[in-house]
Amino acid sequence: MRPPGPLNRRGFVMGGLAGLGLTALPRPALAMPDRAGAVLGNWYRLLLELIRHTATYSPPVAARSFAYLGITAFEALATGNAALRSLAGQVAGLGPVPARAAGAHDEACVLQAALSHAMAVHFGNTGPTGQRAMQAMTRQMDALAAKDIAADVMDRSRTHGLSVSQHILDWSATDGGAVIENMGFPYDYTLTEGPAHWVPTSTIAVQQHPLLPGWGRNRSFAIPADGACGLPPPVAYSEDPASAFYAQAMEVYQTSKSLNNTQKLIARFWSDDPMLSPTPPGHWVAILLGIFERDATPVDRQAEALALLGMAISDAFVQCWRSKYEHDLLRPVTYIRRVIDPNWEPMLQTPPFPEYPSGHSVQSGAAAAVLEVLFGKGFGFDDATHAEDGLPVRSFSGFAEAAEEAALSRLYGGIHFPAANIQGLAQGRCVGAHVLRLNTRA
């Protein structure tokens, strides 16, 4: 590990991607006991499972919860850590977070109260197994947090943690994404007329309407309401074999016909299907948790990184969805079967919403932009997100490399045209830059 450096977060952000890692940040004023790290880590492990196993948690919805839960953890600690700066007044609509009462607090107890409360609300709709798991986790973490803690400290800490959680939840209720019906598929929807536009690609009945068409109107955390990260229009639709549109479709088609084993693995590795994985945003959170475990990252820095990453991927999905429904482009499977090969099958299942830009690319671009600043460029890590599902661990020399591979995977999978991946990464970097303007250090 590199020694702590002299710069605060604002300093190196303003310094323009100086390549300083999180370990370069000043040590927190208070030594955080391991119990707090265990509370945060265990709840996030469970969070990844609940994202996977709760039917409403499509990628945009998952990203939103990652953001609010990260902010909850961060603000719960920031109120007791002079080195941290609250996001209140910086992110859209967040008012001052309740201050701590006089007297000693225990950070593990504060975190436990805040996270157990917030998780129960975010996943109030999960199934009986998820409810049982949350109850078990609450019992286990209550016991862990309370170990050797005086009753008055525990009570004071718990009260504060709950007040922070409720404050964040009250704020979250007004962002436009709090209520998900029919797993995110509208009961009524009118398709845009014209050959260039999205049509259903699935034989699943509820997916005859696209996912979350209004998500792009949700409140962002760090992006100005005027939509600062818009995209140029996609390649103009044409069925002319000499056209640019035909050419990019042919690239998808020909790529699918010549995939080697590595490319197939990459497609599957970043597939991150809802209900079968922690989703694309959860993939990045899993990467971060792996780094925390490897590097024994202090808990305040964990919370800081989780909050920033959460906001980046959540804002990425809002911006991406705004663009998707603005352009409403058809998927490769629709075009290729219509124009090139009626029997073509992409390797991956085509997601049930418009094509341009690629959601995974946008959020991966945003995640990489933020993490590169927090940890530095060329920060290597192993990605074991899907190890339990039997996929190998992949190693990356930096976050940008991983993001670029995630984007490329959508071409290999046959679910995006190349422009959606390239422009998606660019949109993500734009989102990341906005998130990096937030100050999390005093």
Q: Which residues bind another protein (CB under 8 A)?
A: 42, 45-46, 49, 52-56, 124-129, 132-133, 136-137, 140, 180-183, 186-188, 203-206, 273, 275-276, 388-391
Residue 84's SS3 state is strand
> Please, which residue, 148 or 181, has the CB nearer to another protein?
181
| Paired strand residues for 274 | 277
> Please, which residue, 126 or 440, has the CB nearer to another protein?
126
> Please, which residue, 146 or 222, has the CB nearer to another protein?
146
Distance CA 327, CA 127 (A): 36
Give one DSSP letter per residue of 374-425, joined into a string.
Answer: HH-TT--EEE-TTGGGTPPPEEESSHHHHHHHHHHHHHHTTSS-HHHHHHHH
Give one DSSP letter per residue of 268-279, joined into a string.
Answer: HHTT--BTTBSH
Write down the least CB distance from residue 129 to another protein, Å. 6
| Burial zone of 2 (CB within 10 Å; 0-12 exposed, 13-18 middle, 19+ buried) | exposed
> Please, which residue, 183 or 196, has the CB nearer to another protein?
183
Write down the least CB distance from residue 189 to another protein, Å. 10
Amino acid at 143: A
Write down the least CB distance from residue 209 to another protein, Å. 11
Copy the structure tokens of residue 83: 């080195």
Rounded (5°) CA angle 267-270-274: 115
- How far, CA to CA in Å, does 324 sit from each of 64, 152, 331? 18, 52, 11
Cα 321 from chain centroid? 14
> Please, which residue, 96 or 343, has the CB nearer to another protein?
343
Q: Which of 1, 47, 71, 11 is nearest to 311 (CA)?
A: 71
Write down the least CB distance from residue 208 to another protein, Å. 8
| Burial zone of 210 (CB within 10 Å; 0-12 exposed, 13-18 middle, 19+ buried) | buried
Q: Are residues 270 and 360 in contact, defined by beta-carbon separation less than 8 angstroms?
A: yes
Q: Which of 57, 345, 333 is nearest to 198 (CA)?
A: 333
What's the helix, strand, coil split of the chain in %, to 5?
55, 5, 40
Which residues have a Cβ under 8 Å from the Cβ of 93 and sit 6 or more positions away?
171, 174, 175, 219
> Please, which residue, 272 or 315, has the CB nearer to another protein?
272
Distance CA 54, CA 275 (A): 7
> Please, which residue, 42 or 439, has the CB nearer to another protein?
42
